Structures are given as C-alpha cells and as structure tokens.
Homo-oligomer: A and B are copies of this chain.
C-alpha cells in the first residue's frame, strides 16, 4: 500500500482533526517569536510543523475535515500556511486558557458540522518521522473510539527515561482492538516522574509517553466534561447559545488541561501505541537529534552554515551566513535580528535569555 493511500481501517463515521495551534513557547528562540511560535516554523524540513501535521493527516483526514484552534494573533499566519483548510474552520479562541477550555469550546463550534463523528485532538508542533505509522495508529484508535464509545489516546513507546513527559500506565488489553494492535486500557495517568521513577517506567515496559493525542466522539467528550467539569461545561454551553457573549465569558473559564479536567478521572480510556518516530521537538537539542549531520563536518547544518574543524554542532542559519570554527557540542542559532550560542546540553537555558530580554523590556526581540 503506498504510503499516502487511505488506510483501509478507517470506516464511517468520519474522523475530524482538531489541531491545537495556539501555543507560544520560547524554547526555539530566536527562531520562535511571539508572532511566529514553534508550530509555524519549518524546523526540520520545508514545511512548518503545523503544515506537516496537516500533511500527514491528509490521506485519511483531508483538509476539509481539519479544524484549527488558535489565537487572534496567529490566525492570519495560520490561514496563510493552510490555504486548503476552510477558513471558518480556523477557530479563534478569545484567549489562551489551556487545553480543556480550548477543546470543549472548539467541539461546541464544530458540533453542527461533525454530528456524531470522531475527533482526533492533535498538538500542532510535534514531529513524526513515519506518517504512515501515525495514520495506522490513528485509524486503530478511531475504530476503538467508535466501537466502544471510548476516549482513546496514542501513547509513545519510551525511548529513554524522560522526566519531562507524563506517562500512561498500561492496563488490560482491549477486546475491540483490530488484529495486531496492542490496544490497552489506561490503568492510570502518571504525572512527570522523578528520575528514579522514570527509569523504573522505562525498564518495566508497562508505560507509554502521553503525547497529548486523543481520539473520541465529540459527543462523548462533551458528556464527560458535563459530568466532571459542570461549571466549565455550562459556561461553554452558554457561549455556544450566545456567541456574542463569548469574549466576556471565556476569560473566566478555569485554565486547566484536558488531562487534569477529564482524562485522569476516567478509568476506561484506551491507548494505542504510536511507534512512528514521534518527537515533541522540545528544544534545540531535540531538533539536533532528529536532523541528519553533514557527512563532511559531523555537524547538523541548516541554511548558509559553515563548519571548519567543528563536529557535533547544530548550526542553524535562517537568513545570514554562520561560520563556526574549532568548537563542538554547541547550538549556534541565527534568526533575523538575533543570535544564540549555547552548549546543546544546555538548550533549555534559552529560557534564561528570554527571561532576561523580557525583564529588560526587549519586546522587539521576543
């Protein structure tokens, strides 16, 4: 089966994608800025992470069934990047209030159009090396979501003892899974563990990384939300009935993640393993790991980058020439009016730069 043909597993009802694209992280500064957050960046190839998210869905979930939840500040850039997504399916959240309000509000906005269809909630800024493997897992999850009326999440097989992610503790096998799919009940959501616990999870083989990908009937999610977060559900219903009141009311919703608000309260969530080269590209060093090093220099070179006696660097030149001599283990990032130099292993410390710029009122560089 060619990699871009529709997966045979997907039956009616249709699957819609709801891509959460309102984020504004700083971990890819100076490339990421307020007006150009990570999901809009083409970090690992010619297409932005958001575009790649839509591209990899397309054989199974065409742009006509893609919905984007974002902010007013980003909507124009997103519509420009995604001309095939119907413009009124770019939903503009009045303000960022975390994933539970965003998903609940979006599903109310989608409700008329999608009826009892399946919704796959997806982050906009992850990388998946194997799109076909991703579509297979998504199709398997959608089938279980339909057959069992169950929320299903895609879980990533841990590749190291990461302390920065939540984990899914695996329970019983799900009878409804297609042949060859190791679908399980999620016995428990585990928050970001300490190092010892992460190592135990990793060694034990009974935990998956929570990648924030959820598949469910829209009606199912709203039913759970009504029971578990009645105040939020009522407020969202009110906004759906009277859209003019949304701007005023939205900001009063509790800022809470869908995991805390809904998922962690349920004992029947399913999970399908995602073995498709997933990365959340959480830092410059994560990007360095997924990009291929130049054979001559041993460094990852992006753009007009030169390395002389300089192996094992990430040199990312957006729109200038960046020449590096006699160093290793560094990330050297150039974007427009800013340059960042730091050891790859300290990639997280970019936030200290951003904090310093913020404290200095340097909004022109943020």
Interface residues of A (CB under 8 A from B): 30, 306, 308-309, 317, 319-327, 330, 332, 334, 336-343, 346, 349-350, 352-353, 356-357, 362, 365
Contacts and interface: CB of A to CB of B under 8 A. Distances in A.
Nearest to A362: B321
B339 A308 contact: no
B362 A339 contact: no
A33 to B, nearest CB: 12
Please provide the 7 A-B residue pairs with the shortest distance between their CB atoms, ordered closest to farther: A325-B342, A323-B353, A321-B338, A326-B346, A322-B339, A324-B341, A320-B337
A325 B349 contact: yes
Contacts of A30: 321, 323
A353 B325 contact: yes
Contacts of A327: 330, 341-343
A332 B343 CA distance: 14
Contacts of A357: 306, 321, 323
Nearest to A336: B320
A357 B304 CA distance: 11
Contacts of A341: 322-325, 327, 330, 332, 341
Nearest to A354: B323
A361 to B, nearest CB: 13
A218 to B, nearest CB: 44
* Count of this chain's copies in the oligomeric assembly: 2
20 contacts: A306-B353, A308-B356, A319-B337, A321-B338, A321-B357, A321-B362, A321-B365, A323-B338, A323-B340, A323-B341, A325-B342, A325-B349, A325-B353, A326-B343, A326-B346, A326-B349, A327-B330, A327-B343, A330-B341, A339-B339
A319 to B, nearest CB: 8
Contacts of A356: 306, 308, 323
Contacts of A324: 340-342
Contact of A352 (B308, B339, B353): B308
B326 A339 contact: no
A320 B319 CA distance: 12
A308 B351 CA distance: 11
Contacts of A339: 317, 320-323, 332, 334, 339
A310 to B, nearest CB: 8
Given A321-B357, A323-B339, 15 more contacts: A317-B339, A320-B338, A320-B339, A321-B365, A322-B338, A323-B356, A324-B342, A325-B342, A325-B343, A325-B353, A327-B342, A327-B343, A330-B341, A332-B339, A334-B339
A317 B319 CA distance: 16
Contacts of A309: 349
Nearest to A305: B339
A321 to B, nearest CB: 4
A325 B346 contact: yes
A240 to B, nearest CB: 44
A322 B341 CA distance: 8
Most buried by B among A326, A330, A339: A339
A45 to B, nearest CB: 23
Contacts of A350: 325
A29 to B, nearest CB: 8
A327 B309 CA distance: 18
Nearest to A329: B327
